[in-house]
Amino acid sequence: MVSLMFFGSSSYLCSSPSKNTKASLDFERKKVGPCTKLVRNVNLEKLKNNYLFPEITRRELEHVEKHPNVRLISLGTGDTTEPIPEQITSQMSNFAHALSTVEGYRGYGLEQGDKTLRQAIANTFYGNLCVKSSEVFVSDGAQSDISRLQLLLGSGVTIAVQDPTFPAYVDSSVIMGQTGRFHEATKTYQNVVYMPCGPQNSFFPDLAMTPRTDVIFFCSPNNPTGYVASRKQLHQLVEFAKTNGSIIIFDSAYAAFIEDGSPRSIYEIPGAREVAIEVSSFSKFAGFTGVRLGWTIIPDELLYSNGFPILNDFHRIVTTSFNGASNIAQAGGLACLSSAGLKEIRSVINYYKENRKILMETLVSLGLTVYGGVNAPYLWVHFRGSKSWDVFAEVLENTHIITVPGSGFGPGGEEYLRISGFGRRDDIIEASKRLQRFFNKRTKHFIFLSSASNNN
């Protein structure tokens, strides 16, 4: 047995041979054990349901079990599907291989990230925006960054979020103890300010009606609506934050998909350095969803009410709760930001943009109301009067396509479905055909019911 070979013969045997039989061990494991006296964290009790995306995965697996022979197509989780350009993978491959040499071996890196990579991030994404490498914190991705930012903020802050938005902001806030209980009727957590973003307000919050909070999470281009805030709107947001002494946590993970010249970083807005943290990621930009790499910017000028720099505390959090992103992933990140790397990445992003275009044309031709899909890889489809999990289930049952129900992103998403443009081209084309067949039939069915009703 491998463990015996490595560790010696006695280390891994249960201490009493009579307990070693499979039957007795199974019994030991199955019996209902005594409880500890550890009281469950009340914040975890408040969490409503599973986190959204593992729930989608669960339903996907359930469906595949029920229909083992169908070709399930996922336009759901927003997972990248295109290979990473070889320009980039070869650098990671070489770096990994060099770890077996004296010259190439690397142990612990700086928790804040490799300095060259930090400088490359500052140059590439913030070239004229005065971001220093010391303000860049390399991470293993936005999800971890948001969690570490919540550790920084603590339980005593109030937050505002777009409604709908990426669910990790609210869920991490609940875990941190910033919120009250979940209110079933409104599908909201107490103490969180939800800023509706929908067709009624061009998907930008009415800030005049928004109460002050300490922190405003703002994702642009937005996941899931696909809307990107204009320069004018972001000016308003920055002014709103300044007036209220709030900080903005600006998620720019989808900036690479912007087509219309809208700002790609909050720091394009004057004054933002004094009110905003920016979080971003190599996931959707470079296909690093599995490789894991991202970054957060904390400007020097961002200060607590007592004048202490927030950057200092985030550095403390990062050095205590984290030990740096994988050095191989960081080598890949650096390769992404070379001229050749960026050129290759642009091709992949264009591929996803074309996917999104195909889906958009399909859905619009079917008479569906579709938002987003221009400056982001997501289409936000409106099914007026519906429950989004019902539409999700109906689409899944009838077309074997996974989408994401809008209510998973907040109460404002209830009548919507998010459809992702990430996918293999042939899947996108096949999905379009299935959606056409299904929605055409569905429309005829509704027309039939409508006629039948008129004839009675």
Q: List the interface residues with a copy of itself, window 9-38 (CB under 8 A).
A: 10-16, 19-20, 25, 28-29, 33-38
Using CB under 8 A, pick the residue from 50, 202, 350, 443 that binds a copy of itself.
50
Tokens 């290979």 correspond to 83
Q: Which helix (H) or strand (E) holds 420?
A: strand 416-420
Cis peptide before 85 (omega within 30 of 0): no
Residue in 18, 69, 339, 454 binding a copy of itself, rule: CB under 8 A = 339
Tokens of 242: 């300044």
The contacts of residue 341 (CB under 8 Å, 6+ apart) are 85, 87, 88, 335
**Among 275, 360, 363, 402, which residue interacts with a copy of itself (rule: CB under 8 A)?**
275
With binding defined as CB under 8 A, does residue 130 bind a copy of itself? yes
CB-based contacts of 71, cutoff 8 Å, min separation 6: 400, 430
What mask, x for binding a copy of itself by CB under 8 A, covers residues 373 to 412? ----------------------------------------
Pseudo-torsion of CA 284, 288, 292, 298, nearest 10°?
-50
Query: Quick check: 146 binds a copy of itself (CB under 8 A)?
Result: yes
> By the 8 A CB rule, do 222 and 78 touch?
no
Question: 419-438 mask for a copy of itself (x: CB under 8 A)?
Answer: --------------------
Q: What are residue 445's phi and psi, to 5 degrees?
A: -60, -45
Is position 274 an interface residue for a copy of itself (rule: CB under 8 A)? Answer: yes
Segment near a copy of itself (CB under 8 A); pick from 51-59, 367-375, 396-404, 430-438 = 51-59
Nearer to a copy of itself, 41 or 443 (CB): 41
Nearer to a copy of itself, 310 or 419 (CB): 310
Using CA atoms, how far apart are residues 133 and 384, in angstroms rounded to an integer?
47
Size of the site for a copy of itself (CB under 8 A): 152
Of the residues 46, 119, 134, 157, which one makes contact with a copy of itself according to CB under 8 A: 157
CA distance 402 to 74: 5
Question: According to CB under 8 A, which residues from 350 to 369 bind a copy of itself?
Answer: none
Question: Which is closer to a copy of itself, CB of 142 or CB of 391?
Answer: 142
CB-wise, 329 or 419, nearer to a copy of itself? Answer: 329
Q: Are 155 and 180 in contact (CB under 8 A)?
A: no
Among 205, 221, 226, 263, binds a copy of itself (CB under 8 A): 263
* Dist CA 410 CA 170 (whole Å): 9
**Residues 287 to 326 in contact with a copy of itself, rule: CB under 8 A:** 287, 289-292, 300-308, 310, 313, 316-317, 319-326
Inter-residue long-range contacts of 18-26, CB under 8 Å, 24+ positions, other chains counted = none
* The one among 3, 21, 201, 347 contacting a copy of itself by CB under 8 A: 3
The distance of closest approach from Cβ of residue 24 to a copy of itself in the complex, given in angstroms and rounded to an integer, is: 10
Q: Are strands 215-219 and 247-251 parallel, antiparallel or unpaired?
A: parallel
> 101 vs 455, which CB is nearer to a copy of itself?
101
Query: In which residue are the tokens 């490498």 written?
Result: 133
**Whole-Å CA distances, 196 to 200, 235, 404:** 9, 19, 19
| Residue pointed to by tokens 């909050």 | 266
DSSP summary character for residue 38: P
The residue from 46, 53, 358, 411 that contacts a copy of itself (CB under 8 A) is 53
Note whether 7 binds a copy of itself by CB under 8 A. Answer: yes
x-or-dash string of contact with a copy of itself, 182-211, rule CB under 8 A: ------------------------------
Q: What is the contact mask toward a copy of itself in residues 215 to 254, using x (rule: CB under 8 A)?
A: x---------------x---------xx-xxxx-------
| 113, 332, 405, 413: which one binds a copy of itself (CB under 8 A) | 332
Q: Give the chain's radius of gyration (CA, Å).
A: 24
Contacts of 251 (CB under 8 A, 6+ apart): 142, 166, 217, 218, 219, 220, 223, 278, 279, 280
Stretch (H or E) spanning 354: helix 339-365
> To the nearest whole angstrom, how small is the minimum distance from the Cβ of residue 224 to a copy of itself?
17
Contact flags string 61-90 toward a copy of itself, x per CB under 8 A: ----------------x-xxxxxxxx-xxx
* Interatomic CA distance for residues 248 and 11, integer angstroms: 52
Chain residues 90-129 in contact with a copy of itself, contact rule CB under 8 A: 90, 92-94, 96-102, 104-109, 111, 123-129
The answer to whether residues 301 and 274 touch, using CB atoms and an 8 Å cutoff, is yes
Helices (H), 157-271: 168-176, 231-244
Q: Which of 342, 366, 393, 429 binds a copy of itself (CB under 8 A)?
A: 342
